[in-house]
Amino acid sequence: MKIIYHFGAHKTASTHLQFNLNLNRNLLERHGVKYFCFHNVGSLQADTIKIRNTIDDPEKVKNYIDKTRKQIEEEIQGFDTAIISYEGSLGNLSQHHYQYIYEDAEKLIKIFQKILHQHQVIPLYALRNYDSFLRSTYQYSLKIKPSFHLSLKQYLSKIKTEPHRWKKIIQA
């Protein structure tokens, strides 16, 4: 099966894309295309967050890989093509825990390759320049975490912006 897998940086209009694809869900299905977001199907989003949180524990990751694969297979069964969207594929939106942007992206991409290995996957991604991306993730952290105490300067100084980070992620 052909899968168009939308992943990418947070804060790159993913919700807008998802909203519009969802508006056209019936039309897509009439043409043999299944569309879904991870956060709308079972425990897909929760399980992939667990993958991120246990990424260095191969046994736990394997269990979540199997569970994630099963849910995806059930969701796309009977269709010729699928469009899947999950902007959490590269990591957490809150970047202040990391030294580099999406520090575990390469590991996570390999995990999604294992999950979807039996399909022809076409990656679709949107990226942003580092400055606006980090400022946006900072604003998000302030909004959802009342205990968040870093100033913008502290937040930005914690993360090293490699000149070719997005390129490395895309190559992976």
pLDDT given for residue 52 in this prediction: 93
Answer for the pair 11, 140: CB distance below 8 angstroms, yes or no: yes
Q: Does residue 96 register a pLDDT over 80? A: no
pLDDT in tens, 124-161: 988 888 888 889 889 988 988 888 888 999 988 888 87
Residue 12 has what pLDDT? Answer: 86
pLDDT above 70: percentage of residues in the chain: 100
Amino acid at 112: F
Structural domains for the chain: 2-171 (3.40.50)
When pLDDT is cut at 50, 70 and 90, the band that residue 164 belongs to is confident
What does pLDDT average to over the chain?
91
Q: Cα(51)–Cα(150) distance, rounded to whole angstroms?
A: 27
Query: What is the per-residue pLDDT for 46?
Result: 94
Cα–Cα distance for residue pair 62/51, rounded to 1 Å: 9
pLDDT in tens, 52-78: 999 999 999 999 999 999 999 999 999
